[in-house]
Structure 1
């Protein structure tokens, strides 16, 4: 026995494979831990970059108004009109596989959500007295936006950012499952699920099942954190 496709066993050197091995005899638990790291790096990294881009454009649109607001929001509407997975597939079909290319694709399809969220909050805050006071003091526009307007728009931005991390992880897993995500040398949870898909009907369920469970638990956990943050940061829910 070479240790391949074992559902859970003790290897010849006494090493226990708690979640079994894959078709090449590799420990599934180690693969899941490594794949989870890649998924979290890609999801969190793309969400942070998309948040910076989207929040900046959203605050600029709300503060400047007029044609600038119309132009940015039409770009947002155009971006949101495309299905996220379809847009990401087209981008990766052009750029090719790679962790950096996946991050770029996810940033392109995610920034519009942050821009719309921040613009809605910034439109309300822009009419506050402290913004008028800062304008009367002739403070630079950049300082007014990032030192006065942005901190008051953070609560909804944090909630949306948490949700988008989970969404980015799910999108990355989908792209990797379809073969256009991360390369085989940097496997994520989606790629691990794809590797075991052909063995599902032969009874070797654990190759795809355990990475799928890890992906499900990760997404649900992040969404629960986002729900809790929404309850904590929403003053209307406080009694």
Structure 2
């Protein structure tokens, strides 16, 4: 068994992360590991602030999308990537810029608002579509879930209120000042993400840049303040 474990560990792919000044870290990755998680792991080993840093390809110098997974990143095993300050995560002087968040509902409606990258998915739902968590809003035995995936890699990232509460936008690789689209669905509570059936694709929607269908401006921190601001927001205009 020990030999099998050693072989399995040895076969696990990894990335070489250059933190500058000749310092490199090897970070093991799984197919669904996001580049944000790679950056966080490398920065944690050296005590660096991940919020002010990004990643770029060591050879092409192209800045990398932190929300995509290793499987879809196009990076090879043992590829060299570099940690850079600011890394296009936010314009200089606007480190507190909120994220523009859009939530796609099962009905096809879309709700948008602005929240901080440290906001949890539960705060997002309570702020933009609180009626989805009301009693009787979901079938019996179902739980709220969020689907998300950079570059079209749509997957379940949190199921149930506990996971929604512990998962933040930043942990998904969403950078400050950026825009993100997530999908809210209700899924069977038992079995966990592994037993969840595939979810059909949502109907085509205009991009976030085209303007919100139902805009609700919310603050960037605090679950209570987010919910209060959402309740006080002006009624959203009717969808076309």
TM-score band, normalised by the shorter chain?
under 0.3
Considering fraction of residues, name the structure with more helix: 1
**Looking at both structures, which has the greater relative contact order when contacts are Cα pairs under 8 Å and sequence separation is at least 6?**
1
TM-score w.r.t. the length of structure 1 is: 0.24
Q: Which has the larger radius of gyration?
A: 1
Structure with more strand by fraction? 2
